Amino acid sequence: MRRVKVAFICVHNSCRSQMAEALGKLLANDVFDSYSAGTKLKDRINPDAISVMKKLYGLDMEKLQYPKLISSLPPVDVVITMGCGVNCPLLACQHREDWGLEDPTSMGEAAFIETAEKIEARIIDLRRRISSGELTLS
């Protein structure tokens, strides 16, 4: 099976998409390559997202990742928008879906934990759908 490339897209690439990239690398690296990017950039990853990912998964996104624009992505097979109304018409792909996740910024640690757990479940499901062939990619 060839490596599938999955891009997680959000406006600023500072929170949900970064969390999804990190969890994709942790939980589904045997099935797909994970990337994240945004249509605009913040100067850094959200500190609350960094803290929660360290606490829950032992991942240091601050050392392993950085905010990126969509133009920096390689060609991808799957585009996942995180729920922020991002439209990526120039980002070609074989499959696109929106995860409809609310931005936890300024909502406290519990909201970040809930968001991380939702992303974790969706990463696991995406891994299952890709590896089983349920998600048809050429």
Is 10 labeled as catalytic in the residue annotation? yes
Helix (H) or strand (E) run with residue 10 in it:
strand 4-10
Residue 68, CA atoms < 13 Å, CB-side half-sphere: 17
Of the candidates 26, 27, 56, 88, the residue annotated as catalytic is: 88
Q: Is 15 labeled as catalytic in the residue annotation?
A: no
Candidate list 7, 10, 11, 53, residue with the active-site label: 10
Among 64, 71, 115, 113, residue whose Cα is nearest residue 90? 71
Residue of 78, 84, 116, 126 marked catalytic: 84
- Our answer to whether residue 84 is catalytic in this structure is yes
Active site members:
10, 84, 88
